[in-house]
Structure 1
Amino acid sequence: MKALRKMFTLTALTATLLTSGCASIVGDSKYPVNVSSTPSGASFTVQNKDGVIVHNGSTPNTVTLPSGRGYFKGEAYTIVFKKDGYADTSAKLETSMSGWYWGNLLFGGLIGMLVVDPMTGAMYKLPAGAAGNLGSPLVAEAPKDLTLLEIDQLSPNERASLVRIN
């Protein structure tokens, strides 16, 4: 009976190690990203590599984003910041290899390294934050109204300040 229990424990332990990925166990496949801007209060949209908007909001904010987009493919995002009176700006958010992925050499085995972590996206990680600097405020726009007058509707001082254009 003891031999059967030891065999069962050993089999369960071996199956767990062979069917799990180290990065899947220790790391994650979705990461919180702090989105900020200077000045704050800007609206933002997050687009994935395919150009699909996956989130929008206003700064400051925290967005949880998946790090993978398919088997052995890391995701990349573009964050576009907009605020009235400022020029739009954008920031890139790229994935990088998770250090926990290499733990498969010790703990997760080939199944973790070649199947589990690449499929779940756990082999990749995202930066903790993304920021957009909108710069200085733009110069106020000139009024868009246009008033046409005849010359006799102008005062003598206004007529004196006119410049002839040829």
Structure 2
Amino acid sequence: MKKFIHIIGLSLTMLLTGCATIVSKSTYPVYIQSEPVGATFTIKNSKGQVVAKGETPKEIRLKASAGYFKPATYILDFQRKGYAKKTVTITATLDGWYMGNIALLSPLGALIIDPLTGAMYKLPSSISTTLDKNSQSPKRKTKAQLQILYLDTLTDEQKAQLVAI
């Protein structure tokens, strides 16, 4: 009888918990870095709302979920004077601990608890990018040229492009 109660208790615990919620987390620290350092960055969520700003290198905390069964997606815009603007996308991926719900046959954890807490997803621990220098070479002034050609020296293709005036 005692063994039966232990088995029932263990079974209920496994059925009523979310594996990723217990072992993992729903908000992650993400280290943002760039080469060169000192670039400013803005992070927007999938709704276009700014969720973080700063200067590299910096660690920020981001939610891994954007809602029930929705992984978070973030757009990072990097800028620094003398360098081209660069955009990087971060998308949360499925956390391996979420698969524990399937292994433990826990439908409540798989369908309700982990999706609601956001613990079913994870974010990378760091994002790194290299900014490209602006290639703005000085504009050269080109002089207009006038070239006089005889009609009999033109090719058939050039003759087809002539416009009568």
Matched, 1:124 2:118: no
Percentage identity across paired residues of the two chains: 37
The aligned counterpart of 1:56 is: 53
**3-state SS of the aligned residue for 2:98?**
helix
- 1:120-150 deviations in whole A, cap 9, x for unaligned? 11111111111232112554889xxxxxxxx
Matched, 1:83 2:80: yes
Q: Segments of 4+ in structure 1 off by > 4 A?
A: 9-15, 137-142
- 1:45 counterpart (35, 42, 60): 42
TM-score (norm 2): 0.74
RMSD: 2.9
Judging changes above 3 Å, is the alpha-carbon distance between structure 1 residues 16 and 69 closer, same or farther for their aligned structure 2 residues? same
**Could you list the runs of 5+ residues in structure 1 that have no partner in the other structure?**
143-162
Judging changes above 3 Å, is the alpha-carbon distance between structure 1 residues 141 and 33 closer, same or farther for their aligned structure 2 residues? farther
TM-score (norm 1): 0.74
Taking the TM superposition and a 5 Å limit, the aligned residue runs for 1:21-36 are 21-36=18-33
User: In 2, Cα distance between the equivalents of 1:23 and 1:141?
Assistant: 56
Deviates more, 1:128-137 or 1:85-94: 128-137
The aligned counterpart of 1:149 is: none
Deviates more, 1:65-74 or 1:107-116: 107-116
User: In 1, Cα distance between the equivalents of 2:62 and 2:105?
Assistant: 24
- 1:42-74 deviations in whole A, cap 9, x for unaligned? 110110111110000100011111100111111
The aligned counterpart of 1:99 is: 96
Report the number of matched residues. Answer: 142
Judging changes above 3 Å, is the alpha-carbon distance between structure 1 residues 28 and 108 closer, same or farther for their aligned structure 2 residues? farther
AA of the residue aligned to 2:76: I
**Could you list the runs of 5+ residues in structure 2 that have no partner in the other structure?**
145-165
User: In 2, Cα distance between the equivalents of 1:141 and 1:103?
Assistant: 60
